[in-house]
Amino acid sequence: MPRFAMGLKNYIGELNDISEQELTRRNAIIGGDFSTNPWQRGTSFVTPVNTDFSADRWKIFYVTSATVTISKSADAPTIAQAGRLITHCLLIDCTAADAAVAAGDYFLLSQPIEGYRWLAFAQRALTLRFWHRHTKTGTYCVGLRNSGFDRCYVAEYTQAVTDVWEEAIIPIAASPSAGTWDYTTGIGGYLTFTLLEGSSFFTKPNSWNVGNLSCTANQVNGLDSTANNFRIADVRIAAGDMEGAIEVRSLADELALCLRYLPAVRSLGTADSIGSGMNFSTTASKLHIPFHVPARVAPTGITISNVAHLSVLDAAAAAVACNGCTYNRAGIDGAEISTTVAAGLVAGNGTNVFFNNASGLLLFTGCEL
């Protein structure tokens, strides 16, 4: 074989090796490091309801009389334990206990993984790695389920010592091709941590099973006392056995990934422009807001920190405080909103809407999984 051909063959082989290494080291979980998770919705959630999100990409599902507060907590495994600096965890604090778990009760902390993202991990052996610090000692369950809720994998891990950071490294067998899987913009899989669950959802561990099941009979009741805290940190899923370095993303990278599911505009000061548009009357204007990252799907609504955090600046008039802000329509690249004021605009003039408060936040909702 000619020398240049041998060199090309070796070069292509090296590229393939690099590609495989990169794929193996990629982290399927977004926002699993709660230090760099953007926490766009806030950092404390008192008595969240079923299906609420807290930290970006993390939501809860429950049927139980227990209540909790979820927060960003300045607590994490040490650098000696984790091998790198981690400053925060996700804390679930039990505020009302459920001491008697019925067969159909459950409380799950979950991250839905988009199908396009799941493609890189589907039908491959995986490793789940995370740190946990729970008050209640004993056996807990964690697992994966598909979007059709007809295939599930459950594994057990143990909190050996109360309120001490411990690491779990859990191998997960390759997901089956059978079952209902979404490999596009829907949910490819759910990563699920169980805090309590009734017997209706028991299954055997360490294999893919048929059904919508998420724990074993050994699962403890992690919400049986208001003294209980449930903490997790540095959650990662990678292909293979996780030998070597696994992807650790920066805040900027995590934010960019999260904006696909929750487009947001946040204030950086007290005169921070949101977008420009035109006045349609002396009291109303419309403006277009481009998204920094294309959304997964077009948003369907907005949530604003406080309408009083917005002001409208007419091209020929002084800034006027908003008294209303509504969603009009959107695509994946941007959205249109309408703002209203008491008076003071000039119809037909150009206008600029800006945050007048450093706490201003505008979230475009409906893109989450």
Confidence category of residue 115, pLDDT binned at 50, 70, 90: very high
Mark whether 210 and 296 lie in a shared domain.
no
Asked, for residue 277, whether it belongs to a domain, the answer is yes
**Residue 348 located in a structural domain:** yes
> Does one domain contain both 84 and 176?
yes
46 and 184 assigned to the same domain: yes
Residue 32, classified by CB atoms within 10 Å of its CB into exposed (0-12), middle (13-18) or buried (19+), is buried
Residue at 88 is within a domain: yes
Rounded Cα distance between 312 and 304, Å, is 15
Task: Identify the domain boundary among 240, 259, 278.
Answer: 259
pLDDT at 114 over 90: yes
- Give the integer Cα–Cα distance in Å for 273 and 269: 10
pLDDT value of residue 65: 97
Q: Where are the alpha helices (DSSP H) in the chain?
A: 3-25, 79-82, 115-118, 251-259
In this structure, is residue 10 part of a structural domain?
Answer: no
Residue 179's region, left for phi above 0, alpha for psi from -120 to 50, else beta, is: left
> Quick one: 255 and 290 in the same domain?
no
- In 3-state terms, what secondary structure has residue 251? helix
Radius of gyration of the chain (CA): 24
Distance of CA 225 to CAs 59, 99, 125, 162, Å? Answer: 22, 7, 37, 14
Q: How confident is the model at residue 275 (pLDDT cuts 50, 70, 90)?
A: confident
Q: Are residues 136 and 173 in the same domain?
A: yes
Tell me: do 230 and 330 sit in the same domain. Answer: no
Q: Domain count of the chain? A: 2
Handedness of CA 11, 17, 23, 27 (dihedral sign): negative
Task: State whether 251 and 309 are in the same domain.
Answer: no
Residues 144 and 60 in one domain: yes
Q: What is the mean pLDDT of residues 336-359?
A: 92
pLDDT of residue 19: 46
Establish if 18 belongs to a structural domain: no
Does one domain contain both 313 and 299?
Answer: yes
Residue 6 in any domain: the answer is no
Using the 3D structure, point to which of 210, 225, 259 is the last residue of a domain: 259
Residue at 40 is within a domain: yes
Mean pLDDT of 218-234: 98
Asked if residue 4 is part of any domain, the answer here is no
What is the spatial distance between Cα 232 and Cα 228, in angstroms, rounded to a whole number?
14
Q: Are 231 and 112 contained in the same domain?
A: yes
Is residue 190 domain-shared with residue 248, that is, in the same domain? Answer: yes
1 pLDDT band, cuts 50/70/90, is: very low
Q: Which amino acid is at 37?
A: N
> What are the tens digits of pLDDT across the range 147-172?
999 999 999 999 999 999 999 999 99
Q: What pLDDT was estimated at residue 82?
A: 94
> 297 lies in which domain range?
264-365
In the predicted structure, residue 93 carries a pLDDT above the cut 80: yes
The pLDDT score that the predictor gives to residue 248 is: 82
* Res 20 pLDDT > 90: no
Percent of all residues in the chain with a pLDDT value above 90, rounded to a whole number: 84
Q: Are residues 237 and 297 in the same domain?
A: no
The residues pairing with 13 across neighbouring beta strands, listed in sequence order, are none
Pick 318 or 201 by higher pLDDT.
201
Distance CA 178, CA 170 (A): 23
Domain final position from 242, 259, 276: 259
How high does pLDDT run on average in the chain? 91
φ, ψ for residue 255, nearest 5 deg: -60, -45
